[in-house]
């Protein structure tokens, strides 16, 4: 049995628009499965790509312009130092400079929660977005890519180890928004290469672990990976996702958990929705899967609820996001009562 709970408990993605760490942490702790927030509006160090880049050789960060890039010459010069730190788990943890919340989260008493969660930007998205001096994504550099996979795996592992000290059911999201683009938009890195790299990456990561993304990737590719949890935006992609019933069933039967991102966090879609609409939407998706042979009780026992996406662009800052967290909690309570879940 997976240590990740189901039964429609709540969690959320970590990137939040708050500029006050206390308020962000309060919102994260309001959900069943809390997490430590990432606050890029508080500091550029908390941008998800920058946060993942700490101690990575060859990184060039410009705080004033808020840019992150890669320098091949610098990589060669700094690689030896990085390799020397590869056996030191602390080398790969997130420092106070790169997160205002993570150190505080680790000091909290969260043993009574059903689980807690951490996260790190995944290697595919990191390597796709960080580019070298020739504007080439480092994902396509055959020298850098294997090191990057190992480096990011070690970063995930030390964080999970720290989190498990305060809650034995801790788990990790590997955030991979780039997976929706990687096969169709780029040449030189096909699905076979991606499968091999991701299989090796996850083989080096302790359990439980999974992927979060908000886009619409190749769902067969993800559902057939060795993951413990898959978090997705079903508000946007639900009708597409449930077409993969065979792969979903296999994922669940292997012990996988699905986190259904159903409550919109963007200002206009949020205002247009009600709890009744969202409840009906979720039930219709589950009905579709039940019609394809997936037992509903089993599905719900392996399901969490969350907001649909992160959001940093609302004109009201954190207000709509906070309201979305409240709506997720209320939706969970209503659905749990409807289906008799403890």
Determine what percent of the chain is predicted with pLDDT higher than 90.
86
Mean pLDDT of the chain: 94
The number of CA neighbours under 13 Å toward the Cβ of 176 is 27
Band the pLDDT of 216: cuts 50, 70, 90. Answer: confident
User: What pLDDT, on a 0 to 100 scale, did the predictor assign at position 273?
Assistant: 96
Least confident of 1-5, 48-52, 61-65, 98-102: 1-5
Asked if 47 and 67 touch (Cβ cutoff 8 Å), the reply is no
Task: Encode pLDDT of 16-52 as tens digits.
Answer: 999 999 999 999 999 999 999 999 999 999 999 999 9
User: What pLDDT, on a 0 to 100 scale, did the predictor assign at position 185?
Assistant: 52
Global pTM value = 0.95
Task: Encode pLDDT of 41-50 as tens digits.
Answer: 999 999 999 9
Task: Encode pLDDT of 222-277 as tens digits.
Answer: 999 999 999 999 999 999 999 999 999 999 999 999 999 999 999 999 999 999 99
Residue 181 predicted with pLDDT over 90 = no
Q: Nearest-5° angle of CA 295, CA 298, CA 301? A: 150
Q: Bigger pLDDT: 185 or 127?
A: 127
Task: Encode pLDDT of 126-155 as tens digits.
Answer: 999 999 999 999 999 999 999 999 999 999
Residue 317 predicted with pLDDT over 80 = yes
CA-based Rg of the chain, rounded to a whole angstrom? 19
Residue 177 predicted with pLDDT over 90 = no
For residues 65-83, one letter each, b for 16 or more C-beta atoms within 10 angstroms of the residue's C-beta and e for the rest, the string is: eeebebebeebeebeeebe
Domains of the chain (ranges; CATH) run: 9-39+100-125+150-338 (3.20.20.210)
Residue 188 predicted with pLDDT over 70 = no
Element (H, E) at 59: strand 59-62
Determine what percent of the chain is predicted with pLDDT higher than 70.
98
Q: Nearest-5° angle of CA 199, CA 79, CA 95? A: 80
Residue 300 predicted with pLDDT over 90 = yes
Asked if 145 and 40 touch (Cβ cutoff 8 Å), the reply is no
Residue 108 predicted with pLDDT over 70 = yes
User: What pLDDT, on a 0 to 100 scale, did the predictor assign at position 3?
Assistant: 87
Q: Tell me the C-alpha distance between 49 and 38, whole Å.
A: 11
Residue 174 predicted with pLDDT over 80 = yes
């Amino acid at each position: 049995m997976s240590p990740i709970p189901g039964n429609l408990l709540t969690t959320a993605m970590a990137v939040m628009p708050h500029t006050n760490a206390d308020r962000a942490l309060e919102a994260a702790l309001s959900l069943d499965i809390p997490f430590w927030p990432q606050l890029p509006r508080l500091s550029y160090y908390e941008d998800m790509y920058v946060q993942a880049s700490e101690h990575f050789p060859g990184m060039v960060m410009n705080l004033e312009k808020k840019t992150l890039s890669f320098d091949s010459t610098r990589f060669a010069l700094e690689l030896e130092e990085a390799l020397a730190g590869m056996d030191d788990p602390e080398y790969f943890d997130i420092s106070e400079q790169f997160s205002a919340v993570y150190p505080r989260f680790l000091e909290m008493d969260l043993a009574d929660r059903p689980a807690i969660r951490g996260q790190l930007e995944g290697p595919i998205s990191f390597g796709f977005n960080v580019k070298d001096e020739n504007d080439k994504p480092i994902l396509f550099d055959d020298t850098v890519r294997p090191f990057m996979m190992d480096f990011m795996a070690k970063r995930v592992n030390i964080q999970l180890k720290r989190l498990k000290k305060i809650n034995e059911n801790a788990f990790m999201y590997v955030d991979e928004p780039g997976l929706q683009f990687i096969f169709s938009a780029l040449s030189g890195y096909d699905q076979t290469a991606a499968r091999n790299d991701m299989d090796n990456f996850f083989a080096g990561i302790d359990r439980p672990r999974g992927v979060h993304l908000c886009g619409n990737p190749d769902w067969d590719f993800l559902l057939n990976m060795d993951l413990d949890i898959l978090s997705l935006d079903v508000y946007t992609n639900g009708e597409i996702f449930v077409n993969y019933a065979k792969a979903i069933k296999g994922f669940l039967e292997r012990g996988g958990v699905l986190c259904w991102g159903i409550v919109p966090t963007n200002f206009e879609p949020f205002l247009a929705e009600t709890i009744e609409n969202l409840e009906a939407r979720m039930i219709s998706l589950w009905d579709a899967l039940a019609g394809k042979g997936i037992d509903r009780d089993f599905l719900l026992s392996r399901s969490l609820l969350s907001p649909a996406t992160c959001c940093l662009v609302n004109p009201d800052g954190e207000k709509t996001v906070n309201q979305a967290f409240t709506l997720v909690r209320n939706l969970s309570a209503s659905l749990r009562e409807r289906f008799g879940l403890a």
